[in-house]
Amino acid sequence: MVIVLKADRNLEKTAALKKRLRERGFELHESKGETSRLIGLVGDTSVLDIDDLLAIDDVVEDVKRIQEPYKKANRKINPENTVIEVAGTKIGDGNFQVIAGPCSVETEEQITEVANDVKASGAHLLRGGAFKPRTSPYSFQGLESDGLKLLLAAKKNTGLPIVTEIMTPEHLDLFEDVDMVQVGARNMQNFQLLKALGKIDKPVLLKRGLANTLEELVMSAEYIMAGGNDKVILCERGIRTFETSMRNTLDISAVPMLKKMTHLPVIIDPSHAAGIRWMVEPLAMAAIAVGADGLMIEVHNDPENALCDGAQSLRPEQFDKLMKKIEGAVEFFGKTMN
Amino acid sequence: MVIVLKADRNLEKTAALKKRLRERGFELHESKGETSRLIGLVGDTSVLDIDDLLAIDDVVEDVKRIQEPYKKANRKINPENTVIEVAGTKIGDGNFQVIAGPCSVETEEQITEVANDVKASGAHLLRGGAFKPRTSPYSFQGLESDGLKLLLAAKKNTGLPIVTEIMTPEHLDLFEDVDMVQVGARNMQNFQLLKALGKIDKPVLLKRGLANTLEELVMSAEYIMAGGNDKVILCERGIRTFETSMRNTLDISAVPMLKKMTHLPVIIDPSHAAGIRWMVEPLAMAAIAVGADGLMIEVHNDPENALCDGAQSLRPEQFDKLMKKIEGAVEFFGKTMN
Amino acid sequence: MVIVLKADRNLEKTAALKKRLRERGFELHESKGETSRLIGLVGDTSVLDIDDLLAIDDVVEDVKRIQEPYKKANRKINPENTVIEVAGTKIGDGNFQVIAGPCSVETEEQITEVANDVKASGAHLLRGGAFKPRTSPYSFQGLESDGLKLLLAAKKNTGLPIVTEIMTPEHLDLFEDVDMVQVGARNMQNFQLLKALGKIDKPVLLKRGLANTLEELVMSAEYIMAGGNDKVILCERGIRTFETSMRNTLDISAVPMLKKMTHLPVIIDPSHAAGIRWMVEPLAMAAIAVGADGLMIEVHNDPENALCDGAQSLRPEQFDKLMKKIEGAVEFFGKTMN
Amino acid sequence: MVIVLKADRNLEKTAALKKRLRERGFELHESKGETSRLIGLVGDTSVLDIDDLLAIDDVVEDVKRIQEPYKKANRKINPENTVIEVAGTKIGDGNFQVIAGPCSVETEEQITEVANDVKASGAHLLRGGAFKPRTSPYSFQGLESDGLKLLLAAKKNTGLPIVTEIMTPEHLDLFEDVDMVQVGARNMQNFQLLKALGKIDKPVLLKRGLANTLEELVMSAEYIMAGGNDKVILCERGIRTFETSMRNTLDISAVPMLKKMTHLPVIIDPSHAAGIRWMVEPLAMAAIAVGADGLMIEVHNDPENALCDGAQSLRPEQFDKLMKKIEGAVEFFGKTMN
């Protein structure tokens, strides 16, 4: 961390700041310029908040962070790729997986049919929403605990591990038999939820928020890991920009950048990224090519009557064709789907 | 709502869609063009989700919403300005209020001193964070329930009503004696929390998310109001853009636009918007000039040692000077402060 | 186009508006709702400006465009993929090309060496900047006309067609022997330049602006095409978002979306998108996988001493290795590099 | 400037870099940490490009700029507020001016009538577009040189100095009698145009680009100033964000921030910022309150039939009422309009 001091700084307060930093165990390296004066701080600066230093505004002009503020998720500290196992299915370090299923669980028939279809097509994990975050209070909010039961029944019938979204720590008990818990984009910085998930022994699929930086995504993973749960998979699902022709803008570069920053697996959700059915295939191909460890794809047996996100859901026969292309591309780019 | 049909649409499915819409009680007005064909939908379209219609993609090319998707918050339905009372202090419709206090409650001395100071300067409500949403798990997370107790003690000592942030529905019991519950930017779409707040009889200060549209902010207010709690105050606190010289970009136009969309009071938080102490004054003046109903300002007795957001906190003597300017400007622009 | 009328509109002005629209040849289809009233407009609405209608604000509440405002670039009007020939090298409709070379032409040795290297590695077109748009007046501005001469010499020596950026219509004469003229991101809406390029008979590589929508990009292509020059290639090179870990955010979805909107070839510039050398390869792979018609890649024989954009330039040996991967991926995804 | 070296850097290249920097006259201050190593660079770093240093990627991990890259525009170098005179009308350092007129010059009657109206209402400068940058080639492009002639006639008749937009350096001769030349948002980084304007002796009104940072805006001013023309006025006119209810998002904080960064006058264009007539007044009030040095407001005698931007243009009687409020607010906030 580098602290830039003001040219006309209060000397007494400057001395006090230096003393305080030394007392907290930092080594100080100073360098003087004509128009600026820098202090290089050596030590574990992840405990320092830039804003706290900026608050001393008759001394400090600016603060630049040099070291990353994350530790457990940092690839520098743990250089090997992490592999996450979800009920025996490996994700990461060459193991590529497809998570498929409907936006929301609607009926027993629907989830069973879709589960059987995606399994037959080669998906290894089943997704399905029971608790749904919707912008409008007048939209379908999910079947809630009944939806979870239907999803667990589909798991029993097909043997597919299940992934579903949690919206509040109060619901954790209900998720006992869920194989991987998903944190949605709108809850990426629901810190009470992240803290609760740090205390369970279950993989967490953490989606990037609509307008969150990659560093913030990693810091949210760090919340879970700092609590004791190392099993975090990151998911890019499109960010919000000025472009209006698609629901979101898929930040494909997030994959290589997150892999440089962290050792965690990174998957892509092309369905939410574009919000348009016909765009799922090209984005899925791009995701594999760029190095993602998996895909999360919405599939619905009757998208025209889906209670949510039908516009971006593939029909089972479309998904089946796509899976053949995915298998080919995954192999071409050197990963395995087992 | 206008549905644009595809030129090469499936005629059978088109007929089915029309039938379904008529059965749901909508009146259909069709108009044909050479290259497009429109259906105008008449009825309460707030129950329709655009994406559900887009899902029928061998019929529907595009859907444009004409009516607003919100009802209880809509000024068209309730044209008069709403006044919210917080423990007897009125906000809205000409009543301007200043909420002041530290980012977080740290010690009894700190919160008591700041509370007395801001009261002496003319603030009508006291803010102070007990539960703090922080990007890093290694940053100070607030004193939590102990912080709430200190805040309630400060309320007792000064008589100032208090405003503090809630982060999860599980904490609601702790907030019984809090006068106004704040929903922070990161929780604007924490729908479980919004639903819980819809069931209490207490004013809610709802902050706009970092990258949420004004319509989404109003929809979140609608969640609370649909649950039965009409006492919602909206707060603009800066949005996330590409600009890096300030922490956030204050969207000053949000005030007149929200007042056109809704009948709810709208306040501005210039401290979080800029994240820089010296910018609080000009932004506060702009907020009054543009028509806001109040301000939320961070004040700390020792910002250099604040545990959070010191960089944007005013010292009590700075706040005192600012209050004199605020009083003048509020009067000049035709509002009253108590 | 749909015009939403106000509930309390001025009836006389409404009648005048309808009369005026009918006189301009539009057919009007009206539909009444309880809270809104719509007019569907049938005819060539690309000549209408939404803002002109909104200006009649005691009549018009809102205007929604249904038809695209572009014609010559519109795939609906010209469904076949356009192929652009640059000095005999075909781009589009299955023909994939790599444009490679340095950010800026620096010396004869440099451009000759890089040109020979990229040719040997299989690139079909040579890029190199002579006129450089730089944020700072104190940065290197390019060798200007001398740079163009060196680039033309490299063309003569290697036989590679050349692509270089034009910054102002005044320079057009200098570009007579250039094979493809590039319009940079900052000039995407330099309309005087676009008009001038509409009058020449030479392919134009049009880069998307940092914060321009895809529709605006297509409208800028339409400027060139409306002037009489149909040879436009679109280029996505990253957009500006809130993310700071990369120079820009590559909008990979732009490729399939632009191909749906238009019939023009679309290429990707992964070097500018990321601004980081090690990210060029994964983004290039993603570009091929998503369906792009080509790549524009920066290569420099001595990036550490490059006068511009060295951080994102590949060394010739890195480019050579990348070309082998590109060739494999292009074949895998069913295109040819001839 | 601080250079962060890689832990596993190439030692030979590191020595070469240090040597090169010392040869260019920089003083180097090094500080070692456990996981990082910094070099503080002392000297005029505005001549260094961060990307050039990042290019040496087996040595350099990151580069942080400490000093601003602008000099002539920098308030640290020139602490006094600059006053710009436009044909005798002073702008800046307490002198507040209103520039008013139509988006585009349409007819002699129109511009004469509007000019007389805005003069009568107290405006000190007349705006009017002759060359119009329009997104669509099918929209009205301005009367071009004929428009300029009409504007000059209006200047003669009313005595008001005129401000109008230039789109390309080729047109400079036509602007000889124009009092202040405007650079529009889309041309903020048209560097050939900025260079040409650096050589004339005439005030330049430089508008911020839709997605340009404040530092980039100041760097564009620096282009003009580095060429020898110190008469630059900065204009904030709204930026592009994800918000869709307004045409642009007015960045009101830009005023105090630009005034901290530079000594140049800063004005606001509320008409383009919101794109909606009824929002001009509250934004104008906010602009005055926040400390702007002037306003640019669109006025049209018949906005419903305006050839451009009618939706945001005030009618003369609306402008007249607004001017009375502006006068009051300018006086209240301690500036003079004379």
Grade residue A35 by pLDDT with cuts at 50, 70 and 90: low
Question: What is the distance in angstroms between the Cα of D265 and the nearest Cα belonging to chain A?
Answer: 24
Q: What angle do CA B278, B279, B284 make, to 5 degrees?
A: 120
The mean-pLDDT minimum among A129-138, A251-260, D215-224 falls in A129-138
Q: What is the pLDDT of residues D48-57, one digit of tens each?
A: 888 888 888 8
**Residues from chain C contacting residue B244 (CB–CB below 8 Å):** 244
- pLDDT (tens, 9 = 90+) of chain C, 338 residues, equals 888 888 888 888 899 899 989 988 888 887 766 556 788 888 888 888 888 888 888 888 888 887 888 999 999 889 999 999 999 999 999 999 999 999 999 999 999 999 999 999 999 999 999 999 999 999 889 999 999 999 999 999 999 999 999 999 999 999 999 999 999 999 999 999 999 999 999 999 999 999 999 999 999 999 999 999 999 999 999 999 999 899 999 999 999 999 999 999 999 999 999 889 999 999 999 999 999 999 999 999 988 777 777 788 999 999 999 999 999 999 999 999 97
Q: How far apart are CA D259 and CA D239, in angstroms?
A: 18
Which DSSP symbol is given to B241? -
The answer to whether residue C76 neighbours chain B at the CB level (below 8 Å) is: yes
Nearest CA in chain C to D138: C47
Reply yes or no on whether the pLDDT at D308 is more than 60.
yes
Query: A317 CB contacts (<8 Å, ≥6 apart)?
Result: none
pLDDT at position A34 is: 53
- Note whether C211 contacts B32, CB cutoff 8 Å: no
Closest to A7 (Cα-Cα) out of A40, A31, A28, A35: A35
Grade residue A65 by pLDDT with cuts at 50, 70 and 90: confident
Mean pLDDT to the nearest integer, B96-113: 95
The answer to whether residue B241 neighbours chain D at the CB level (below 8 Å) is: yes
Grade residue B35 by pLDDT with cuts at 50, 70 and 90: low
Closest to A134 (Cα-Cα) out of A162, A165, A110, A163: A165
Q: How far apart are CA A247 and CA D26, in angstroms?
A: 49
B106 within 8 A of B143, measured Cβ to Cβ: yes
Q: What is the pLDDT of residues A76-120, one digit of tens each?
A: 889 999 999 999 999 999 999 999 999 999 999 999 999 999 999
Scanning B104-249, the segments in alpha helix (DSSP H) are 108-121, 145-158, 191-197, 214-226
Q: How far apart are CA A273 and CA A239, in angstroms?
A: 8
Greatest pairwise CA separation for chain D in angstroms: 75
The rounded percent of chain D whose pLDDT value lies above 70 is: 99
User: C30 — phi, psi (to 5°)?
Assistant: -105, 145
Four-residue CA torsion sign, C19, C25, C29, C33 = negative
Question: What is the distance in angstroms between the Cα of B129 and the nearest Cα belonging to chain D?
Answer: 26
Q: What is the pLDDT of residues A146-176, one digit of tens each?
A: 999 999 999 999 999 999 999 999 999 999 9
Scanning C122-233, the segments in alpha helix (DSSP H) are 145-158, 191-197, 214-226
B204 within 8 A of B231, measured Cβ to Cβ: yes
Four-residue CA torsion sign, D210, D211, D217, D219 = negative
DSSP three-state, residue C262: strand
A83 within 8 A of A263, measured Cβ to Cβ: no
Grade residue A61 by pLDDT with cuts at 50, 70 and 90: confident
Tokens at D274, concatenated: 């919101």
Chains A, B: CB contacts within 8 A come to: 144
C55 within 8 A of D303, measured Cβ to Cβ: yes
- Among left, alpha and beta (phi > 0; psi -120 to 50; other), residue B292 is beta
Q: Sheet with A27-32: list strands edge to edge.
A: A27-32, A37-42, A2-5, A60-64
DSSP three-state, residue A167: coil
**The whole model's pTM is what?**
0.94
Chains that touch A (3 or more CB pairs under 8 A): B, C, D
DSSP three-state, residue B225: helix
- Note whether D311 contacts C55, CB cutoff 8 Å: yes
Q: What is the 3-state secondary structure (H, E, C) of D233-256?
A: EEEECCECCCCCCCCCECECCHHH
Q: What is the pLDDT of residues A292-306, one digit of tens each?
A: 999 999 999 988 777
Of the residues D5, D30, D31, D61, the best mutation for testing chain A's interface (the one with the most A CB atoms within 10 Å of its CB) is D31
**Residues from chain D contacting residue A43 (CB–CB below 8 Å):** 33
Q: How far apart are CA B160 and CA B178, in angstroms?
A: 11
Closest to A242 (Cα-Cα) out of A281, A211, A209: A211
D residues 244-303 lying closer than 8 A (beta carbon) to B = 244-246, 249-253, 255-257, 260-261, 273-274, 278-279, 282-283, 285-291
Q: What is the 3-state secondary structure (H, E, C) of chain D?
A: CEEEECCCCCHHHHHHHHHHHHHCCCEEEEEECCCCEEEEEECCHHHCCHHHHHCCCCCEEEEECCCCCCCCCECCCCCCCCCEEECCEEEECCECEEEEECCECCCHHHHHHHHHHHHHHCCCEEECECCCCCCCCCCCCCCCHHHHHHHHHHHHHHCCCEEEEECCHHHHHHHCCCCEEEECHHHCCCHHHHHHHCCCCCCEEEECCCCCCHHHHHHHHHHHHHCCCCCEEEEECCECCCCCCCCCECECCHHHHHHHHECCCEEECHHHHHCCHHHHHHHHHHHHHHCCCEEEEEECCCHHHCCCCHHHCECHHHHHHHHHHHHHHHHHCCCECC
Cα B319 to chain centroid, rounded: 23
Comparison of pLDDT for B38 and C309, the residue scoring more: B38
Domain map of chain D by residue range?
A: 2-64, 84-332
Grade residue B82 by pLDDT with cuts at 50, 70 and 90: very high
The answer to whether residue D69 neighbours chain A at the CB level (below 8 Å) is: no
Question: What is the distance in angstroms between the Cα of D67 and the nearest Cα belonging to chain A?
Answer: 8
The rounded percent of chain A whose pLDDT value lies above 90 is: 74
B153 within 8 A of B112, measured Cβ to Cβ: yes
Q: What is the pLDDT of residues D223-233, one digit of tens each?
A: 999 999 999 99
In Å, how far are B159, B165, B223, B265, B295 from B123, measured between CA atoms? 11, 19, 30, 18, 10
Of the residues A18, A138, A216, the best mutation for testing chain B's interface (the one with the most B CB atoms within 10 Å of its CB) is A138
Q: What is the pLDDT of residues B39-64, one digit of tens each?
A: 888 888 888 888 888 888 888 888 88
B231 within 8 A of B203, measured Cβ to Cβ: yes
Work out whether strand C37-42 and strand C27-32 pair parallel, antiparallel, or are unpaired: antiparallel
Q: How far apart are CA C36 and CA B43, in angstroms?
A: 10
Comparison of pLDDT for D47 and C88, the residue scoring more: C88
Q: How far apart are CA B70 and CA D65, in angstroms?
A: 47
**Residues from chain C contacting residue D168 (CB–CB below 8 Å):** 168-170, 190, 192-193
Comparison of pLDDT for C306 and D12, the residue scoring more: D12
Q: What angle do CA B126, B129, B130 make, to 5 degrees?
A: 120
A83 within 8 A of A93, measured Cβ to Cβ: yes
Beta bridge partners of C85: C90
Reply yes or no on whether the pLDDT at D34 is more than 60.
no
Q: Which of C52, C133, C134 sits opposite D310 (nearest CB)?
A: C52
- Note whether A51 contacts B309, CB cutoff 8 Å: yes
Q: What angle do CA B267, B269, B273 make, to 5 degrees?
A: 135
pLDDT at position A32 is: 65
Query: B50 CB contacts (<8 Å, ≥6 apart)?
Result: B63, B65
Closest to A270 (Cα-Cα) out of A306, A298, A308, A303: A298
Mean pLDDT to the nearest integer, A48-72: 85
C235 within 8 A of C206, measured Cβ to Cβ: yes
Q: Could you list the beta-strand ranges (E) of A65-121.
A: 84-86, 89-91, 97-101
pLDDT at position C33 is: 60
B183 within 8 A of B165, measured Cβ to Cβ: yes
C83 within 8 A of C93, measured Cβ to Cβ: yes
Question: What is the distance in angstroms between the Cα of D43 and the nearest Cα belonging to chain B?
Answer: 23
Say how many Å lie between the first and final Cα of chain B, rounded: 43
DSSP three-state, residue B338: coil
pLDDT at position B213 is: 97
Give helix D280-290 / helix D254-261 axis angle, nearest 10°: 30
Q: Which CATH architecture has domain A84-332?
A: Alpha-Beta Barrel (3.20)
Grade residue A312 by pLDDT with cuts at 50, 70 and 90: confident
Reply yes or no on whether the pLDDT at A279 is more than 80.
yes
Reply yes or no on whether the pLDDT at D242 is more than 90.
yes
Q: What CA dihedral angle connects B195, B198, B199 and B205, to 10 degrees?
A: 120
Q: What is the pLDDT of residues A314-337, one digit of tens each?
A: 999 999 999 999 999 999 999 999
What is the ipTM, given to two decimal places? 0.93
Give helix C280-290 / helix C254-261 axis angle, nearest 10°: 30
Chains that touch C (3 or more CB pairs under 8 A): A, B, D
pLDDT at position C7 is: 81
pLDDT at position C197 is: 98
Q: How far apart are CA B328 and CA C59, in angstroms?
A: 39
pLDDT at position C237 is: 97
Four-residue CA torsion sign, B219, B225, B226, B227 = positive
Q: What CA dihedral angle connects B42, B48, B53 and B55, to 10 degrees?
A: 180
Four-residue CA torsion sign, D313, D315, D316, D318 = negative
The answer to whether residue C222 neighbours chain A at the CB level (below 8 Å) is: no
Query: C302 CB contacts (<8 Å, ≥6 apart)?
Result: C110
Work out whether strand D27-32 and strand D37-42 pair parallel, antiparallel, or are unpaired: antiparallel
Nearest CA in chain C to A278: C256
The answer to whether residue D166 neighbours chain C at the CB level (below 8 Å) is: no
Mean pLDDT to the nearest integer, B188-192: 97
DSSP three-state, residue C287: helix
CATH code for residues D2-64? 3.30.70.1140
Q: How far apart are CA B60 and CA A156, in angstroms?
A: 37
Grade residue D88 by pLDDT with cuts at 50, 70 and 90: very high
The answer to whether residue D78 neighbours chain C at the CB level (below 8 Å) is: no
Q: What CA dihedral angle connects A106, A109, A110 and A116, to 10 degrees?
A: 140
